Amino acid sequence: MPAESPSGEPSETPKRPRKPFQTAWPWVLCVVGLDYLSTLAYQPAIAFEVAGRLAPLATVLVVVVTLVFALPVYWYIAGRSPNGGGTTGLLERVIPGWFGKLLILVLMGFGAVDLVLTRTFSAANASEHITHNPQPGWQRGIDTTAGEGEKLRQQLPPEMHERTEGFWNRHTVVTVIVLGISTAAGLAFFRGYTKNFVRLAVVVVVAYLVLTLVIVGTAGAYLFQNPQLYDQWWGHVWAGEWKPGTETKPSGSWGDLLLASVPLFPLLALGLSGFELTLMTMPHIRGRKTDDPANPRGRIIRTRWLLTSAALLMSTYLLGSTLVTTVLIPAEALTTHGQAKNRAVAYLAHGGTLTDGHSSAEVNPLFGVVFGTVYDVITVAILALAGLSVAMTLSQWIPPYLHRLGMEFDWSVRLGLLAYLFIAVKFGVVVYYGADLESQRAAYLTAILAVFAFAAFIAAVDVFQRRKLRSWPKLVRIPVIFLLGGLVFTLSGLSIAFDHPAAMVMTGAFILAVLGVSIVSRVWRSTELRFGGFTFANDESKEAWDKLCASDFPILVPIRGGHHTLAEKEREIRTLHRVPATMPIMFLQAEVSDSSDFSQSPVMRVTHEDGRVLIHIVGCTAVPHALAAAAIQIASSGAVPEVHFGWSNENPITANLHFVFFGVGNVPWMVFNLIRRSDVPDARKPRVVVG
């Protein structure tokens, strides 16, 4: 049935949200690949920094966790939340109520850290590729920009001059420029993912993968032709010489290598980033024409193809690039800024020196300054677009979700305040950390692992609930893979947080900010007449309601179930409020379903009990809103009604808290206030009587 406004008139047809641009799943894979595959720009070097010569073995663990835990979890969530909600959408259904909303806010806090740091981390790594490119023109431009900035800094007051010492360096300058350009470019795609953005993503990702394949493939072929290099690396690994300059401990077995690699996994989890983004982009995947909007099987199947393809593609590239860079690049180069640190694959592209003393340019004549510069340009492009894609995801995920839950103001959504706030935070993070990748990495890892842990546990809870409804035996209700995955991600995140408490401070600040803004907004907006129109339990109720709205001078008496019979309540009202027996009375009973929801379109059933009219409203988020809406709707087409209440002994503070959190406190005053603030002419506003 069409929704009606609280005044009883058919509400103005709301503007339908613009249908998201849809395309084939391989092209959406390229959009997802901007974030997921761009980690190849820095992951091999980070793997060596963390694990030394154990990096390829530790990367095998990343691949195993990806294929055994992450992929099945997101396969499942794609089927249960196919319209772009991702883990958040499934969580909202699986755990309703305020506890569920609290978990959503915490998840959004971690998600915000993940997406913000994806952008700053990508920009900082793009800066690594720019500042260490040997092109003279690039370097002169960077030095000029940094020098001009330093001159401006020198003119600051002495106190600020001292505090900003070291902030304005070449790396920070370039990172700020990259972030600024990508932010400005985002204005061209302010509507979200469009056909042009997808085309750009396809070109950049395909070019990046082709060039990376040339580099890694050539290096792999050289390694195959020179097995002594592999044997030399393996000899160091088996001898326990994993990191140059550290104490060695010979490995007695494969078990020793495995035990040494397991604690390294949390520090390599950047290679997992990108799965949640896939679920956010699901509405852009073209399904079948026969898809049911509520359960689009074609879109779900193609999203699962996308997830599987991305996981296999990334696993192959990650293992290959980590192996060749660890074996072929000298250890000192992988730990030295300006050489292979944070840019190992680019080091090979530029013709860097290998462990056997040869130049990679001798391995492939293409390699050198020109090819390396082309590779740097493509790498910077994919890193910049990765930041831009997650920024668009952030703006389309958190603000609309918070607004729907009443946790963001209307004016804030109109102005895009949160989007601008996140932009400011990104620049603040870059300046505060001096665009240093190592400083941001712990917080980034914590957020990624937390998002994966949420996804795994929510999927486990959903499977358990569904199997319980189907009366599965207790022993097989628990999805072991999901539960184990949740434990792996949780323990990994806790290990990062324990070793790097500053990471938890940053992520905790994001979560507290999201919680604080959400709570203040929800309390402030709780007195809005949030009402989307009644739906009716049956046609008889609709016909009865239309007749009641046309009746003369009705009196509405709200009641609570189980306290009085209708006869007792009628005698009380007629006696205390001096209502004559000839005056018709209607009884309203409203029941709250989930007070943590914000908007409401409750279901109305009109019945007769002992000759008395009972209007039963269920599915409310707050009783006063349902009562006020019913009274206003009657006043719009019939006589102006009166709403009669009895006195309550509630404490005012307790009553208001009950109203905000449970939807059932301070009802008479709230009904009066909602009616008073409604856009109904004063002469047509229902009257509230308390006595």
- Domain shared by 308 and 442, yes or no: yes
Domain assignment present for 11: no
Q: Do 542 and 629 belong to one domain?
A: yes
The tally of CA atoms less than 13 A away on the side-chain side of residue 670 is 26
Cα four-point dihedral sign 19, 21, 22, 28? negative
Cα first-last separation, the chain: 37
Percent of the chain at pLDDT exceeding 90: 28
Bridge partners, 642 (sequence order):
555, 687
Q: What is the CATH number of the domain that holds 62?
A: 1.20.1740.10
What mean pLDDT value characterizes the chain? 83
- The confidence band for 202, taking pLDDT boundaries of 50, 70 and 90, is very high
Cα–Cα dist 327/329, whole Å:
6
> Tokens representing 429?
């993070």
Q: Which helix (H) or strand (E) holds 643?
A: strand 642-645
Please tell me the distance from the alpha carbon of residue 90 to that of residue 662, in angstroms, as a whole number: 23
628 shares a domain with 511? no
In b/e form, how buried is each residue of 440-463, taking b as 16+ CB within 10 angstroms? bbbbbbbbbbbbbbbbbbbbbbbb
Task: Look at residue 21 and tell me if it is in a domain.
Answer: no
Task: Tell whether 20 is covered by a domain.
Answer: no
CA distances from 217 to 231, 234, 674 (A): 19, 20, 69
Model confidence at 579: pLDDT above 50: yes
Mean pLDDT for 666-675 is: 85
With H, G, I as helix, E, B as strand and everything else as coil, classify residue 441: helix
Q: Tell me whether residue 16 is in a domain.
A: no
**Better-scored residue on pLDDT, 6 or 549:** 549
Q: What helix, strand, coil percent values describe the chain, rounded to 5? A: 65, 5, 25
Q: Residue holding tokens 């490119």?
A: 133
Same domain, 489 and 566: no
Q: Do residues 285 and 172 share a domain?
A: yes
CB atoms within 10 A of CB 366: 17
DSSP state, residue 268: G
Of 379, 309, 300, 448, the residue nearest 29 (C-alpha): 309
Cα separation values, 295 from 217, 249, 287, 301, 314, Å = 42, 55, 11, 11, 29
**Is the distance from CB of 270 to CB of 496 less than 8 angstroms?**
no
Q: Which residues of 529-544 are buried (b: 16+ CB within 10 A; e: fewer)?
A: bbbbbbebeeeebbeb
Element (H, E) at 494: helix 480-499
HEC letters along 501-566:
HHHHHHHHHHHHHHHHHHHHHHHHHCCCCCCCCCEECCHHHHHHHHHHHCCCCCEEEECCCCCCCH
**Same domain membership, residue 456 and residue 592:** no
For residue 6, name the pLDDT band (cuts at 50, 70, 90). Answer: very low
Residues 6 or more apart whose CB falls under 8 angstroms from that of 191 comprise 18
How many folded domains does the chain comprise?
Answer: 2
pLDDT at residue 373 tops 60: yes
**For residue 671, what are the CA distances in angstroms to 183, 426, 643?**
46, 44, 9
**Domain boundaries, position 591:** 535-690
Does 199 or 276 have the greater pLDDT score?
A: 199
10 assigned to some structural domain:
no
Mean pLDDT over 590-603 rounds to 86
User: 500, 524, 548: which is the final residue of a domain?
Assistant: 524
Show which of 505, 524, 543 is a domain's final residue: 524
Backbone angles phi, psi at 603, to 5 degrees: -100, 130
Enumerate residues 6+ apart whose C-beta is below 8 A from 427: 176, 179
Mean pLDDT of 242-248: 69
H-state helical runs in 226-352: 227-238, 254-261, 275-280, 297-328, 331-334, 344-349
Residue type, 587: F
Separation CA 533–CA 604 (nearest Å):
10
CATH number at residue 591: 3.40.50
Question: Quick check: 213 and 313 in contact, CB under 8 A?
Answer: no
CA distance 102 to 142: 46
Interval 335-347: pLDDT, tens = 888 788 889 999 9
Tell whether 682 and 556 lie within a shared domain. yes
| Helix segments in 405-436, DSSP class H | 410-415, 417-432
Distance CA 662, CA 625 (A): 13
Q: Residue 246: which pLDDT band, with cuts at 50, 70 and 90?
A: low
Residue 610 forms part of a structural domain:
yes
What is the per-residue burial (b if ≥16 Cβ within 10 Å, else e) of 639-669?
ebbbbbbeeeeeeeeebbebbbeebbbbbbb
Measure the CA angle with vertex 361, ends 356 and 362; round to 5°.
Answer: 60
Check whether residue 487 and residue 562 sit in a common domain.
no
- Among 30-39, 184-193, 378-387, 399-408, which is the least confidently predicted range? 184-193
Residue 180, CA distances (Å) to 419, 425, 500 in order: 14, 13, 29
592 φ, ψ (degrees, to nearest 5):
-85, 135
Asked, for residue 2, whether it belongs to a domain, the answer is no
Quote the pLDDT of residue 9. Answer: 41
What's the predicted TM-score (pTM) here?
0.85
**What are the tens digits of pLDDT across the range 9-24?**
434 433 445 567 788 9
What DSSP assignment string belongs to 468-482? Answer: HHTT--GGGSS-HHH
Show Cβ contacts of residue 449 under 8 Å, excluding neighbours closer than 6 positions.
266, 269, 489, 490, 492, 493, 496
Contact 617, 602 (CB under 8 A): yes
- pLDDT of amino acid 13: 39
Is residue 229 located within the same domain as residue 194? yes
User: Which residues have CB under 8 Å from 525's CB, separation 6+?
Assistant: 406, 409, 598
Phi, psi angles (nearest 5°) of residue 688: -105, 125
Same-domain status, 514 and 581: no
Q: What percent of the chain has pLDDT over 70?
A: 89
Cα maximum dimension of the chain: 106
Residues 507 and 561 in one domain: no
Please state the rounded mean pLDDT for residues 553-564: 77
In a shared domain, residues 601 and 499: no
pLDDT at residue 299 is higher than 70: yes
Q: How far apart are CA 381 and CA 388, in angstroms?
A: 10
In this structure, what token pair is assigned to residue 551?
């009746």
Residue 19 lies in a domain: no
Higher pLDDT, 169 or 330: 330
Which among 457, 491, 524 is the end of a domain?
A: 524
